[in-house]
Structure formats: structure tokens, C-alpha cells
Chains A and B, each alone.
Chain A
Amino acid sequence: MSDTAIETTHLRKIFGSNAAVEDLSLDVYRGEVFGFLGPNGAGKSTSIKMLLGLVKPTSGEARLLGKPVGDVSTRRRVGFLPEHFRFHEWLTGAEFLDLHGQLLGIEPAVLYARRDALLDRVGLAEHHDKRIGDYSKGMLQRVGLAQALLNEPDLVFLDEPTSGLDPVGRRLVRDIIGEQRDRGATVFLNSHLLGEVEVTCDRVAFINHGRVLEVRELGRETADEITVSVKARNLNGNVLTSLRAWADGIRIDGEHLTFNVAGEDILPEVLRHLAAHDVDVYSFTPKRLSLEEQFVRIVGTEGGL
């Protein structure tokens, strides 16, 4: 068994004369929660569709759970919540899950137990016999999520899973993603809400124009990623000059000093240095670059339209 859940090499999709995905090469490991970030029109949705076999790549290769993309039996082990989830509105929530369970080839007894447990988990236990057409946008999203988890997938794709959900619903999604990881499943998350991604994902890829710009592990900062704000008196020119040995982007505004350092390990040294030069430090606050700041830095502000 390979240890990559998703492997793509030079995946490319052209619609007419327009390249939706230019050249996507990506590895997602088993058991991780992987965030797929990029501005609108960066090729995220097309990439997901190619991975699920909904759209045929123009060129390049992709493997899911070790099997080439499009392999029908692999889909038994994959879950998918589409971005704008819609389904036959006349089915009730329970009927809808039964139908998908049957399509997944789940034994009836197992299916009914799982269906009830999932409806309960996503907070729809009381609405199981209500028609999907009468569901609110949030309820629709919840039942769609239940559908994606029905087969206890080894790999689950969630495309904007929190769209249409209120803060409580968003928290539910976050908890469920955590449960999936604990179960050993791989989660591929496409979301615009960087705050969510930041707390749920192990790694993220930044995508633009259908290319991977950068893959980063979250919670592990790289160069100049910690910004430190200091409130201090007795700051003299000498201290500031010698500070350059560790930090850059040094700015001073009265008693407020800010600078960037390359990593956490440097912080005690910097603090000792300040104290040794008789600087009176009142506060010393290191702050990691938020995912949003990283996003803007990597992808740029031109944004998607």
C-alpha cells in the first residue's frame, strides 16, 4: 500500500483555448488533512473534478489511493461533498442517504445503522423524514456531508464544506474533519475560509493559475514568519543596529518596536540581547504570520475574479 492518498504529476486541463489547470503536481499523504488554497479561478474546482474522475485531464497523471484516477472500484473508498450540493428534492434526508449507500454497495443492515448515526452526528436526526427540497441551505450542506462519510472513506474531498453554515455548523464541520483524521482518513479540503483551514489542516498547498506555488506545513514557520511587537523604553540606535543580526523589517514608532525573525528559537536570544543593553521591556509579543497573510504573500493581491 502506497503512503500517498493523492499523487498528481503534471496534471493539465484545457477547455477550448483556455487552460483551467496548467500543471498540477501534488502529493497528499495518507492520514493528513490537506488544504487546497487559491483565489477564485485558480483551477481548484477543476482539479478536484479531475481527481474524482468527473472531468478527464487533457494530459498528466493522477492516482488516488494508489490506483489511477477514474478507477470505479476505488470510488468505494472515496467520499465527496461537491461545492454546490444539490440533489433530487423529493427524497427525504433518510431516503437520500439510503440511495447513496446502495450505490456505494453497503450492506442494508450496516447502511441503516450508519445512516441514523450520521444524521444524528450532523444534527439532522429530527429532520430525517423531511424532504430535501424543504431543507435550508445549511441543512442541505449537512446532509451532503453525511453522504460523503457514508462509506467511512479512506479519502474524503470536501469542497467548501462550510458554505451556507452558521458558526455552530462550521464548528461541527471542523470537529467532523478532526474525527475523520483520528479515524485515519485523509481529508482534502477546499475552502475560502482561511481561518478554518488554519485550525484544521496539517498541510496546505497554495494554487494559482493551475499550478502549485508552494506547499507548507502549518504550525511550523519558515523564514521571517514570526513578527514580534515589543513595547520598550531606552531603545537606542546601537541596540537597533545590532538587532539586525537576528531580525529584519525593523520598525520603530515611539515605544513600539516591531521586527520579523526567522524562527521561535531566536526569541530568547533577542530578549537577552535587549536586556543586556539595558532596554526596559514592558511587553514582548511574537505573532505568527496568519494563513491569510501567507496567502496574500504567496498568491499576491491581484486576486481572482
Chain B
Amino acid sequence: MTGVAIIARLTFREAARRRILLLAVSFGILFIGLYALGLYLLPDTFESILVRRQILKIFLLLGLYAANFLTVAMSILTSVDTLAGEIRSGTMQTLIAKPIARWQVLLGKWLGFVGMLTVYVVLMAGGVALVMYGIAGFWSESLFTAMALIWLEGILLLSITFLGGTMLSTLATGVLAIGLHRWLSSAVGSRNSVPTPRARPLSASGS
């Protein structure tokens, strides 16, 4: 087994033991349960098939939004301490003194977290999609794209905490990752959001 694989395996096992992950999984299960209940209780008396489709789409988006939020929180919180913490505690010293290059340690750790992230995204977004399909019989062809995007977002955040962790303290890394995420999502969000009524020339002329 090469150095990268050994470290990746160790990191995956380590990440799987974190309380934060347990918390994220518990919240995830709780959310999917509530989501299923809500969807189940939703009265299926829509005026047309098109309206039904629209409503279910919004409902699916809501579910994916929650899955996304949990994934983001989990990605940052589980990985934020892995480098800075191990450098500070000295755990890293024993590792780095082994015949393994630093990039192998970093890549291995990163892959370990990516593995955990993948499992989490599949469980969460997959859970939401399954609930939607099972209860309402609704399936969106963009689901895989959505899952891939959530996954990429998690990977981006992981990479940022890794970048921060090599140079900064745990706290500073956390601030960096969360701050960047807030900034990026508001920047992307405002570009993609539906124009507000104020910006609409029609409503402006109508007043």
C-alpha cells in the first residue's frame, strides 16, 4: 500500500469517528424523516399537473438545500482541525519523519475526507431524492447534477480548510472557510436569484 492510501484510510477511519460527523448524520436522518413526513402529509389535490410539478420541484429544492447546508457544515467542521490540530499536538511529527513526502500526507488526508464527504452527500441528497420518488413519485433529471454540485462545494471547502490548516490555526482556518463560503454563496446567489420586483421595469411603470 502506498503512503497516500495508508494516510487516506487512516483519515477516513478517523473522520468516521468524529462526534461532529455523528451529529451531522443524526441531523441528516432527523431531517430526512421530517421531510418524508411533511411530504406525506402534503395534500395531493393540485389544480393541474403543472402546478403539482412546480410545487414538488420547490419541495425537492428545499430538501436539497438542507442537504447542502448540512454537507457544508460537516465538511468544514470535521476537517478544520485535521492539519492545524495535528501540527500543534505533535502527531504530525511522527508522521512526517516517516519515509513519506509531505504532499503524500496532504493528498492522503484530503482523499480520506473526500471519501467521507462522498458517502455523506450520497446519503443526504440520495435520501431526499428517494423520499421524493417514493412518496410523490416525482423525479428530476437534474438530480445528479445537483448532487455533483453539492459534492463539489464540499470538496472546495475541504480544500480551503486544508490550505488554511497548513499555515493558520484551527480557529483562523474555520473563519476563513466559513467567511469564504458566505461570501461566495451570496455572490453566486445574487447573480442567480430571480430579479426582485423593484428591478422589474413593468412593475416600476405600473406604480
Contact = CB atoms under 8 A, between A and B. Distances in A.
Given A86-B91, A88-B91, A90-B17, A104 B98 contact: yes
Interface string B85-116: 00001110111111111000000000000000
B3 interface: yes
B99 A73 contact: yes
Contact of B101 (A72, A74, A102, A147): A72
Contacts of B99: 72-76, 103-105
Contact of B90 (A78, A84, A102): A84
A44 to B, nearest CB: 15
Contact of B98 (A85, A87, A88, A100): A100
A72 B100 contact: yes
- Chain B: interface secondary structure? helix
B14 A82 contact: no
Report the contact-size class of chain A (Cβ under 8 Å from the partner): 20 to 34
Contacts of B96: 52-54
B97 A90 contact: no
B94 A80 contact: yes
A99 interface: yes
B6 interface: yes
B16 to A, nearest CB: 10
B116 to A, nearest CB: 15
A102 B6 contact: yes
Nearest to A90: B17
Interface of A: 49, 52-54, 72-76, 78, 80, 82-88, 90, 99-100, 102-105, 144, 147
Top 3 closest A-B pairs, CB basis?
A: A75-B99, A103-B98, A80-B97
Given A54-B96, A72-B99, A104-B99, 19 more contacts: A49-B93, A53-B96, A54-B93, A72-B100, A75-B97, A75-B99, A83-B90, A85-B90, A85-B94, A86-B89, A86-B90, A86-B91, A87-B91, A88-B10, A88-B91, A90-B17, A100-B98, A102-B1, A103-B100
